Amino acid sequence: MGNLCMLGFLGLIAAMSPLSTDMYLPGLPELQADFGISASLAQLTLTMTMAGMAVGQVAGGPLADRYGRKGPLLFGMAGFMLISAACYMAENIYWFLAFRFGQGFCGAFGIVISRAIARDVRSGAAFLRFLAILMLIHGLAPVLAPVIGGQILLFLPWRGVFAVLTGIGLFLTVCTMIFRESLPKEKRIASIAGSFHSYVSLLHDRYFLGLCLVQCFVFGGFFSYLAGSSFLFQNVYGVSPQVFSFIFGAVGLGLMVVGTLPAKMAGSVEGVVMLKWSLITHLTGSILLLAGFLLSLPIWYTVPVLFLSITPMSVMGPTSTALALTKQAANAGSASALLGFFSMILGGACMPLVGIAGDHTAVPMGCLMIAGFALALFSFYRMVAPYHRRELSQKRKLPF
């Protein structure tokens, strides 16, 4: 598989999260009306997907380290295809919630294994550059997914989105069959038990755990935005599903453009420096966003401030992941799984809270975003930055 084909393939399988969530966000109010449920219960359909992705990555990482990348990935993509079809046919909200969990669980194999494959084929600054390009490709998904979802709703009810997801699952299943294994048998972990045991040592690594917490809290804020955005723009500002899809896609385009920075700056700017400033920007933007909600400022203020709040994700993601995985070559699958678990679990818990005050206010969304980004910055300064300060201090003591 050529380099460009590899990047495209990894970008697609890493895009399971935005494909599973962003594509049907424009239809969330329609889904709420169709099932006759509250806004919080509608947002719980997103939570179940995030919970499935969290658990699926914990399972998928060790399996990928033990049995190689191809077999577990094939299981995940085929399962995603079948369960997407089940979501399309679900007539009961509780069955739908169960299927959404399964969809997230299977899709998680693509997320975790894509990062492990990237670690298999690259290292050092090349790894950060490769990972940044990979996430740039991945960034197309949140740009295109809501726009496609909004256009589908012009012709089909919200269930049509899951028919499209079924087709995407079929395409990725076929691509996985063509993929050449990247982890030789001699480099695989000897047993599943040993692979799961690596979680213990990883969690005892303060530096690695700090980066996990950074991702945990940032994604908590980010998924609060995902859960509240459709209600913010459609219920508070009164725009149509199609206009919302274009606004959401524009923010996604910002994510993609900002995602070029880590690739361009890799080797000239330290990853930890890029990570620090991305977290500071996240927090600054979210404070301005909540101020706008409290003052009932118009949509022309909210949209650019959302750009400031959300787009640093494209810097935070590759830099924190590269820093975390660089020292974990032997356990790349398990380390990637833990990163994925932490990035999903809090986001899933935050999503129903966004609608706790009803579907005509965005204040809870703003509060959750500030809390998440502030805790991420705190974790960075307490657990990540000290390691790099010690490393810099030791370098200065070298005789050459």
CATH code, 103: 1.20.1250.20
What Rg do the C-alpha atoms of the chain give, in angstroms? 20
pLDDT digits (tens, 9 = 90+) for 251-261: 878 887 887 78
- What is the mean predicted confidence (pLDDT) over 18-22? 75
199's CB contacts (< 8 A; 6+ apart) are: 58, 334, 338
pLDDT at 396 over 60: no
Tell the residue number behind the tokens 């703003």, with chain if given.
Answer: 366
Reported residue count of the chain is 400
In a domain, 292, yes or no: yes
Query: 191 lies in a domain?
Result: no
Q: Residue 369 has what pLDDT?
A: 94
Q: State mean pLDDT over 367-378.
A: 95
Taken in order 154, 155, 161, 165, is the CA torsion positive or negative? Answer: negative
Q: How many domains does the chain divide into? A: 1
Q: Does any domain span residue 25? A: yes
pLDDT value, residue 169 = 92
Is 139's pLDDT higher than 70? no
What residues does 269 pair with on adjacent strands?
266
Instruction: Give the pLDDT of residue 393.
Output: 65
Q: Say yes or no to pLDDT of 102 above 70.
A: yes
Q: Is the pLDDT of residue 40 over 80?
A: no
If one compares 151 and 381, the residue with the highest pLDDT of the two is 381
Would you say residue 37 lies in a domain?
A: yes
- Quickly state the pLDDT bin for 399 (edges 50, 70, 90): very low
Chain Cα centroid distance, residue 314: 10
Distance CA 242, CA 27 (A): 10
Three-state SS string over the chain comes to CCHHHHHHHHHHHHCHHHHHHHHHHHHHHHHHHHHCCCHHHHHHHHHHHHHHHHHHHHHHHHHHHHHCCHHHHHHHHHHHHHHHHHHHHCCCHHHHHHHHHHHHHHHHHHHHHHHHHHHHHCCHHHHHHHHHHHHHHHCHHHHHHHHHHHHHHHHCCCCHHHHHHHHHHHHHHHHHHHCCCCCCHHHCCCCHHHHHHHHHHHHCCHHHHHHHHHHHHHHHHHHHHHHHHHHHHHHHCCCCHHHHHHHHHHHHHHHHHHCHHHHHHECCECHHHHHHHHHHHHHHHHHHHHHHHHCCCCHHHHHHHHHHHHCCHHHHHHHHHHHHHHCCHHHHHHHHHHHHHHHHHHHHHHHHHHCCCCCCCCHHHHHHHHHHHHHHHHHHHHHHHHHHHHHHHHHHCCCC
- What is the residue range of 242's domain? 3-180+200-386
* pLDDT at site 140: 65
Residue 113 or 187, more confident:
113
Which single residue is written with the structure tokens 């049509």?
A: 160
pLDDT one-digit tens code per residue, 178-209 = 888 777 777 777 777 766 777 888 888 899 99
- State the Cα–Cα distance between residues 315 and 160, nearest whole angstrom: 33
Selected residue with higher pLDDT from 193 and 399: 193
- Cα distance between residue 322 and residue 123, in whole Å: 9
So what's the pLDDT on residue 400?
A: 38
* Least reliable range by pLDDT among 38-42, 51-55, 330-334: 330-334
What does the pLDDT look like over 292-349, one tens digit per residue?
Answer: 999 889 999 999 999 999 999 889 988 898 888 777 655 666 787 788 788 877 876 7
Q: What is the model's pLDDT at position 279?
A: 96
Q: Say if 165 falls within a structural domain.
A: yes
- The crossing angle, in degrees rounded to 10, of helices 332-354 and 363-379 is 150
Rounded to whole angstroms, the Cα distance separating 309 from 312 reads 7
Q: Does the pLDDT at position 397 exceed 80?
A: no
- Which band of pLDDT confidence, cut at 50, 70 and 90, is reported for residue 382? very high
Q: What is this structure's pTM?
A: 0.73
Return mean pLDDT, the chain: 83
CB 230 within 8 A of CB 29: yes
Buried b (16+ CB within 10 A) or exposed e, 370-390: bbbbbbbbebbeebbeebbee
pLDDT higher at 176 or 375: 375
Q: Is 310 within the bounds of a domain?
A: yes
pLDDT, greater one: 22 or 36: 36
Inside any domain, residue 131: yes
Contacts of 30 (CB under 8 A, 6+ apart): 153, 157, 158, 241
The CA distance from 172 to 195, in Å, is 26
Q: Is the pLDDT of residue 142 over 70?
A: no
Higher pLDDT, 288 or 356: 288
**pLDDT at residue 112 greater than cutoff 60:** yes
Residue 392 lies in a domain: no
